[in-house]
Amino acid sequence: MASASDSQPLKLTAATSGFVLAAAITVLLNTALACTKDAYAPLKVFMKSLSGHDWTTQGFVDLLLFISLGFIFMQTKVAEEIEPNRLIGVLIGAVGIAALSLALWYAFF
């Protein structure tokens, strides 16, 4: 049985690292879009006209962005160059920033 000191350094595949980075970016852009559409009514109306509800359109935008960025990062292997622990930290940081930003936005605006 191998001990922790015998183990190889953690290595993520191009797909895993690409989609983790895509998730971090998508979380932040989702937050920016949520605040922007609440502050700019014409954007909210436009998004509602596309799918019947602004949140549905936002979900489609998020999904398209996540999948597109994930495949781009996977093909270019750009995220694979980032150390796994740093990449995980980026995702956790993005989620924390997004949560705090949304909480402050809805508390004060």
pLDDT the model gives residue 5: 57
pLDDT the model gives residue 104: 96
How much is the pTM? 0.89
- Distance, in Å, from the CA atom of 47 to the CA atom of 45, rounded to the nearest integer, reads 5
Q: Output the six-digit token pair for 65.
A: 């962005």
Average pLDDT, the chain: 93
DSSP state string for 50-97? HHSSHHHHHHHHHHHHHHHHHHHHHHHTTGGGS-HHHHHHHHHHHHHH
